[in-house]
Amino acid sequence: MDRETREAVAYVAPFAVWIVLQMLLPATALSYAARTIATAAVGVACLKSVGASTDFRDARRLAAGLTAGLAVCGLWVAPEYSTWYRTWLELPFGEPPPPVSPSPYEPSVCGWPLTLVKLVGSAFVIAPVEEVFFRSFLYRRLQARDFRAVPLSRFDLSAFMWTVFIFTLEHDRPVVAALAGAAYGFLAMRFGLGSAIVAHVVTNLALGLHVIFRGEWWFW
């Protein structure tokens, strides 16, 4: 295995584990916990190989990530109170929102420990894993096979749009997912990968807290 392939595997493996387990395991809180633990373990194992530049000590970058993360969360939540939006701009298109049924992540269904695992996993595991894959790997890999030779700050319209599009395919709210992917991509180019990670973590954490405290489990 050549150097470029080894490095690509280190960037891709945690996200691949997450997606494969999502397809194989049932949509239960216990399965989500298993996916979170497996993805975190692979992510930690690959972290040294990835060697991504993520300076979390820069106050300007942190502030940009925090602000963008909260803005994306607001963008994700606000349209949900429109039936038209939920009917025509969420998957599957053209179907009215289904009746609210117990979520597998509600404490009354799975217990508080697994609800909190869902919160922690969505914010502190899958958010960083997605940013490393989409922004640090895929965006640069679409520009060159030796992706680590491509500066993350370089803007390439085609690679940027394809990355946003593929990121959107992973979500059932394509409009806001596309806007979120564009925001995280801009942050990564302008302020570095660390800023994009902070933004994504903040978005998922704020959304999770909103779900728990408001009881709006359909977001999960």
Q: Indicate the pLDDT class of residue 25, thresholds 50, 70 and 90.
A: very high
Burial (Cβ within 10 Å: 0-12, 13-18, ≥19) of residue 10: buried
Is the model's pLDDT at 52 over the cut of 60?
Answer: no
For all residues of the chain together, what is the average pLDDT? 92
Give the dihedral of Cα atoms 170, 186, 138, 40; nearest 10 deg: -60
Rounded average pLDDT over 82-101: 83
> What's the structural domain count of the chain?
1
**Whole-model pTM?**
0.93
pLDDT in tens, 136-189: 999 999 999 899 899 999 999 999 999 999 999 999 899 999 999 999 999 999
Q: Would you state the pLDDT for residue 49? A: 63
**What gap in Å lies between CA 201 and CA 195, rounded to an integer?**
10
Q: Are 29 and 114 in contact (CB under 8 A)?
A: yes
47 lies in which domain range? Answer: 3-219
